[in-house]
Amino acid sequence: MPVIAILLQAALWVWFLGCVTTYRFGKVLLVEGMGVRSAEFAMLCLYSLGVVLYHCLPAGRWILLGILLLWFAVQFLCHWRYTLFGAGPEKIRGYNECFRGTLRIFPESETRLVPDFYHIALHALILANIALCAA
């Protein structure tokens, strides 16, 4: 289990680092980084602290689980709520503009937010880490 934990935690950390830096592969934009003066960097630091505590303290597992649940709740409120229940035209336009040019599996929609590939993978990694901590 520790090897799986380390791999999943490292995968999430490296993947989310793209929100701070920028991941671009040739002409394909995966995610535009927001820099070190951003909420994304603060979340990366909080997650990093949780991972360290997970490996150093008996209660660290529960601290990391709390951080992951908070993170997923924020992601749900920012992305999936609008994907599942729809959003107004202004919200959709702003969202699509913010993530214009990123790699997409599903096309943009006029009635719902459709997360790009980066966010779908990010949310899957967060959920996998939650399942690992909760197990």
Question: How much is the pLDDT for 1?
Answer: 64
Task: Report the chain's C-alpha Rg in angstroms.
Answer: 16
Q: Which domain holds residue 48?
A: 2-134
**DSSP per residue, 29-80:** EEE----SSSHHHHHHHHHHHHHHHHHH-TTHHHHHHHHHHHHHHHHIIIII
**What value does the mean pLDDT take over residues 92-103?**
91
Instruction: Give the pTM.
Output: 0.92
| Confidence band, pLDDT 50/70/90 cuts, at residue 111 | confident
Total number of domains constituting the chain: 1
What percentage of the chain carries pLDDT values higher than 70? 99
pLDDT reported for residue 19: 92
**pLDDT tens for each residue of 26-72:** 999 999 999 999 999 999 999 999 999 999 999 999 999 999 999 99
